[in-house]
Amino acid sequence: MKTRLLFLFIFIMAVSAAHAQLNFVDGYVITNRNDTLFGKIKYSTPALRSSKVIFIEQNAKEKTRYKPFQIKGYYVEKTSYDSKIYDIDPALPFGYGTFMERRNEGVLKVYYYWNTDKERGFTQTFLENDGDYLMEVDFIGFKKQMTRYFEDYPKLQSKVKRGTYKKKDLDKMVAEYNEWKRGDW
């Protein structure tokens, strides 16, 4: 009986250890000094990914917890997360540090933020032009907002006004804008 209990205990411990390691995947963090540290990152829920990152540096055993602005960002599962300030109310003199999922490269970036409101969670979409402020995309007044937003690129602005681009085409709009900014147009 003791042998069975010992075997069961060892088996449970091995399964627990294996399960704990399954949540850690290859990734890296970018420090505030622009150093890249490679290792393992705990891949958790969207809400937790936006508030902290748990990191184990290569050849280390200790976990380090980073909150937004303790690092510039991190990369895990083919996705980049950048430290950003989430302004709940632009009238307030402060915002909240968060990690936002960066969806693209270029001058104009698209960010997703997983927000929670009691029991429900939802994704908010933001645009950031060359490190300027984050603007939340208003999917109700999308056409009007994007027409104003792209006023420096009349060709794209015209496509939005005509309805060539709609809400579902946000990524295409941003890609076209970034190409134009690079001088490809």
- Residue 48's closest CA among 120, 135, 102, 116? 116
Does this model's pTM top 0.85? My answer is no
Give the phi and the psi of residue 88 in degrees, each rounded to 5: -65, -45
Report yes or no: 114 and 103 within 8 Å, Cβ to Cβ. Answer: no
pLDDT in tens, 21-74: 458 999 999 999 999 999 999 998 888 899 999 999 999 989 999 999 999 999
pLDDT of 75-112, one tens digit each?
998 999 999 988 877 677 788 899 999 999 999 999 99
Q: What is the crossing angle of helices 154-162 and 142-149, to 10°?
A: 170
Confidence of residue 12 (pLDDT cuts 50, 70, 90): low
Angle between helices 154-162 and 170-182 (to 10 degrees): 160
Could you tell me how many residues make up the chain?
185
**Alpha helices of the chain — where are they, by DSSP H?**
2-22, 46-49, 142-149, 154-162, 170-182
